[in-house]
Amino acid sequence: MMPNCGSGSSAWSRREFLARTGATAAGVLAGLEVSRTAHAAGSDIIKVGMIGCGGRCSGAAAQALNTGPDVRLVAMCDIFESKVKAARENLKNIHPDKVIVDDDHCFVGLDGYKKVIEASDVVLIACASKFHPMYSEEAIKAGKHVFVEKPHGIDPVGVRRMQAACDLAKEKGLSIVSGLQSRFDFGWQECMKRIHDGAIGDIVAVQAMFLRGPYQVMSRKPEHTELQFQFWNWYHFCWLSGDDVPQSLVHNMDRVSWALKEEMPEWCFGLGGRSASFGEGLGDMYDHDTVVYEYKSGARVYAMCRTQNGCYGNSSDIIMGTKGTCYLGQKRIVGETNWQYEGPRNDPYQTEQQALFDSIRKGQPINSGYHMAQSTMVTVLGQLAVYTGQAMRFEEVAKMDFQYRPTPEETRMDMEPPTLPDSTGNYPLPKPGISSLEWIAGPRRP
């Protein structure tokens, strides 16, 4: 059993937890004795800063503040002042004594991340995904622990940068934890242990699905410039988000990598486009993607995502083996072995924050670098295969210099946006079999 993280479960040994998650870095979870001298500040308080003030970073901050009486939120930043103010108010309503962010530590603009890093011991990063690698790198260089949301890059250059940040964190003895929370789910840990122990035999195929309606479409405000609107609605613009395979299917493909003991695909092909979701609020994302990955082991993964209203929805995985099938969403195995998980349930989002903060208290850093960048690279591979209509090899894409323009460092709030709408309010989309990687990288013009 696992250490108690508010789930009512009894304790697993540290060794057993690491074996079940497949972690290669030293790590701990909740319920450990607090060491008051282990974190970066060397004091009784762990100071937390937020880079990004949307729902995901606010959720991570609330969960971080739940991890113990010694945590304080001290700094926040976002592109938009309204988001900073709203997040501060909401979090203060939840944790009135732990949110101590004064006006001087509410930062607005693209350079606010620097001031948040300076003020904090732990940096929570969940903003336009384009910036995740750069902000993580800067925080680690500054000696700060990091929680960073998925995806961990939106192009090969960004993903390699994130891997380098994870490697640097290991060298510096700092924790970096991924927002790919599946690996902290008790039931999925038990499923993976049984898969790895041979309960379904050799994995033959996986059906991975993330099917839903469009995600958080944000309406344009009268005062927005075109660039401000794209940042306001960043999820739906590929130069900021990377599109839906890295954004959504990254969860599924991280679980696939976990099941396959971190084996990466050799190659893939894909198909997709936009057929039902139009309008300026939907930016330049595809509304459906399917990627077929092939592995040296012989496994094939059929991964699909969709963002269309009024359609069948599912966000689970079915892992098929030579001796049985694991219905991962149901935490159930059928075949030669029939099994249903009936153990303790937990909130993996909360558990990952508890793991991070307890690692800081104990001075025993944990590092998600063994899976987070590689799982993201699998989805970058898939999205580029869908866009181009070409078969692509993992090793070749992982080495590409492809990067959505402008680079994070070149991005300014007074620049011309890298994509512009046509007369109908729709933005130009990649055309499989026609659009080049250079055009896809941007700028994209009607």
Which ranges of 66-185 would DSSP assign to H, the alpha helix? 81-94, 112-119, 132-141, 156-172
Contact assessment for residue 140 and residue 116, using Cβ atoms and an 8 Å cutoff: no
pLDDT digits (tens, 9 = 90+) for 197-225: 999 999 999 999 999 999 989 999 999 99
3-state DSSP assignment of residue 150: coil
Per-residue pLDDT, averaged over 371-378, amounts to 98
Say if residue 23's pLDDT is above 80. no
Contact assessment for residue 91 and residue 65, using Cβ atoms and an 8 Å cutoff: yes
Say if residue 137's pLDDT is above 70. yes
Q: How many alpha carbons fall within 13 Å on the CB side of residue 18?
A: 12
Question: Can you give the pLDDT at residue 187?
Answer: 98
Say if residue 291's pLDDT is above 70. yes
Pairing, β 46-51 against β 122-125: parallel
Per-residue pLDDT, averaged over 399-403, amounts to 98
Taking residue 221's Cβ as centre, other Cβ atoms within 10 Å add up to 11
Question: Can you give the pLDDT at residue 43?
Answer: 66
Looking at residue 119, its amino acid is: A
Q: CA separation (Å) from 266 to 88, 377, 381, 386?
A: 45, 12, 11, 16
Say if residue 164's pLDDT is above 50. yes
Question: Can you give the pLDDT at residue 35?
Answer: 32
Q: Which residues are paired to 48 by β-bridges?
A: 73, 122
Looking at residue 290, its amino acid is: T
Per-residue pLDDT, averaged over 337-349, amounts to 97
- Total number of residues shown for the chain: 446
pTM for this one? 0.91
Q: Which residues are paired to 438 by β-bridges?
A: none
Question: Can you give the pLDDT at residue 44?
Answer: 87
Radius of gyration of the chain (CA): 21
Say if residue 17's pLDDT is above 60. no
Per-residue pLDDT, averaged over 326-341, amounts to 98
Cis before residue 214, ω within 30 degrees of 0? no
Contact assessment for residue 46 and residue 147, using Cβ atoms and an 8 Å cutoff: no
Contact assessment for residue 87 and residue 51, using Cβ atoms and an 8 Å cutoff: no
Question: Can you give the pLDDT at residue 22?
Answer: 38
Strand order in the sheet with 267-273: 339-340, 332-335, 324-327, 317-321, 203-212, 300-307, 288-294, 267-273, 392-393
Question: Can you give the pLDDT at residue 445?
Answer: 79
Residue 29: both structure tokens together = 């979870």
Taking the C-alpha atoms of residue 446 and residue 438, their distance in angstroms, rounded to an integer, is: 15
Say if residue 142's pLDDT is above 60. yes
pLDDT digits (tens, 9 = 90+) for 39-83: 544 468 999 999 999 999 999 999 999 999 999 999 999 999 999
Q: What is the mean pLDDT of the chain?
A: 91
